[in-house]
Structures are given as structure tokens and as C-alpha cells.
Amino acid sequence: MTAVSAVRCAHCATELAPTLFRCPACGTLAHANRLGEIAADARRLEADGKVSEALGRWNEALMLLPSDAPQHATIVRRIEDLTSKLGTPAKQPEAGATGLKGAWLGIITIVVLVVSKLKFLLLGFTKLGTVLSMLAFLGVYWDLYGWMFALGLVLSIYIHEMGHVASLRHYGIPASAPMFIPGLGAVVRLKAHPPTKGQDARVGLAGPIWGAGAAIASYLLFKATGKPIFAGITHTGAVINLFNLLPIWQLDGGRGIQPLARTERILLAVLGLGIFAYTHEFFVLAVAIGLGIRAGFGEQGEGDRGATMQFAGLLVVLGALALVRGGQGG
């Protein structure tokens, strides 16, 4: 068995546990040398125009720093600057943009993002763990609803989760392919969490955005074939993604509203109530009520028009898709 060399403080040579951020004897950062190497590598990547790779290195550096270290705040600001260079948040609409215009911008975002990433969707099928867990999930729902509906459900959830993976990798944060849990859904494992509210919001909303794209694809199959099974898959996919938009706990909606100001949350709540009046879909109402509650209580963000437009587009698209009804079985 190979012995593992002890990690020692570069300043006073005190032996350090791997989980320590600071030397308990002198207070020196435990990973100071490593942090210097990572920072130099990140700056080199920035100079080469490799923004996503640079973000990944800066995020790696954050994992080696205590949150109260001055360097932590400096790196977070650097990450925010690099994020803006990636084009996120998206270009802000003019101040006079209406809610309807914003919703259409959200719809266009949904369609364009999903269609442009079709090749990326094949990634998960190269991972044995993902495939095996997917087959187990498929077997449970096949027995309950038939193979065709079960397959549509599995693919809808898979696409939703791959949306999170794509967004995380966009910000340079390593993430696993989805792992399915029968009866619960699927999860993605990541080594670090998005360091800013804006990034976390977009990672959270990416799942419903891609999930909405999957529901749209199912709806197009329904229109092309007339088979009720595709209408059923469309409706179920819309409802699942609406559930994930609930602005509570660690659901996607809870993460999506973090940077939103009180006014933005109120506007989304009003939009949700309007959509519910037309669709009578319970989860649209639940999202609207949740937004209203989160506008009145708890911490408010500084405002993020891009995330607000994405949320609005999702409410419109998923609310409309939830109106589609069809059968199961097959």
C-alpha cells in the first residue's frame, strides 16, 4: 500500500487535514500555492478567449477558499464579469418591453436553445450508469402505463436534466450525466454549486426550458400522427416542468427567482394568474401563488430581466402545453 504524503502549511509547516481551508496555527490559506496555479491558468485561458474553461478554473478555486476570505469575493466578481462575456444574462430588452413581448422572447429562447443542442443530448447514452438507471425507471413505468408512454416520460425527464448539465458546463462547472430514481425522477451530481444567484437561476431554469422543448417535440408528433399517446406525453411533460417551476426549496423555480426583484416576482405572479384563468391548470396557479408569497416574504434579489423573461416564457409555453390532453398505453 502506497503511503500518502502529509499536506503541510507552506508558511509554518504545520500538518493539515485535507478538509481545512486555513492553517489552524498561523491562519495561512491551506491551498495558497494551488490557488496561485489555478489563478494563473484561469488568466491564461481568459487571454486565449476560452471563457467557459476559465470559468471552470475560477469555480475550482472557489472550492479551495473559505467564504469569508477576501479572495473569495474577488473571484466571485471575476466570475460575474466572465459570465457577462458569455452573453448571460441575455441582452436586456428595452425598458418599455411589455410582458407579452418578454414571453415571446422566452418562447424563442426555449425553441432555439433546445434545437441547437440536439447532439449534446446523446452524451448521457454513453454513460453506463445513466443507461442502466434509465432502463430501471423505464421498466417501472412500462408496467404501469405501457411502453410508449413510459419511454416518452423517461426521455422528457432525461432532456430536462440534460438542460441542467448543459448550463452547468456552460459555466465551467463539472456535472455528471443524469441518474434516474424510479418514483422520484432523476438527479445530476456536480462538484461545485454556481457561485452567483444569476448563474444559479439560469442553471435552474435550464431544466424546464429543455423540458419544454421536449414537450413541444411531443406535441408536434401528436399533430403529425394524430396518436393520443403523444398528447398524453405532452401534457405530462408540461405538468412535470410546471411542478419544477414552483418557487420553493431547491426546485428549479426556487433557484430561478433568486436574483429577481419584488416587482419582477409580482409581475410573474400576475402573468401566472392570467394563464390560470385561461387554462385552469393547478400547477400554474400554484406557481403564481408561490411567486406572490415570495414577493412579500423572504430575501429579494436586485433584479434580473433576463431570468424574468425566461420564467415568463416558460409559464406561457408550459401553460399552453398543459391544455393538450391524450391517452396512455401502447
Q: Is residue 249 part of a domain?
A: yes
Of 116, 112, 102, whose CA–CA distance to 313 is shortest?
A: 102
Q: What is the pLDDT along the chain (330 residues), one digit of tens a residue?
A: 334 445 666 667 666 655 566 666 666 676 777 777 888 888 888 788 777 778 777 777 777 777 667 777 788 778 877 776 665 443 333 434 445 555 555 556 555 655 566 667 777 777 888 889 999 989 988 988 899 999 999 999 999 999 999 889 888 888 888 999 887 888 888 877 888 898 999 999 999 999 999 999 899 999 988 999 999 999 999 999 999 999 998 899 999 999 999 999 999 999 999 999 999 999 999 999 999 999 998 889 999 999 999 999 999 999 999 999 865 544
- Return d(Cα 36, Cα 39) in angstroms, integer: 5
DSSP state of 124: G
Range of the domain at 25: 7-85
Q: What's the whole-model pTM score?
A: 0.74
Domain closes at, from 85, 113, 130:
85
CA distance 38 to 30: 14
Q: Which of 24, 52, 85 is the last residue of a domain?
A: 85
Cα–Cα distances (Å) from 59 to 39, 75, 162, in that order, read 10, 8, 20
Residue 311 CA, chain-centre distance (Å), reads: 12
Helix, strand, or coil (residue 13): coil
121 lies in the same domain as 203: yes
- Which residues does 117 contact at the CB level (< 8 Å), separation at least 6? 162, 166, 210
Q: Please, what is the Cα angle at 318 between 311 and 303, to 5 degrees?
A: 5
244 and 188, same structural domain? yes
Whether 37 and 114 share a structural domain = no
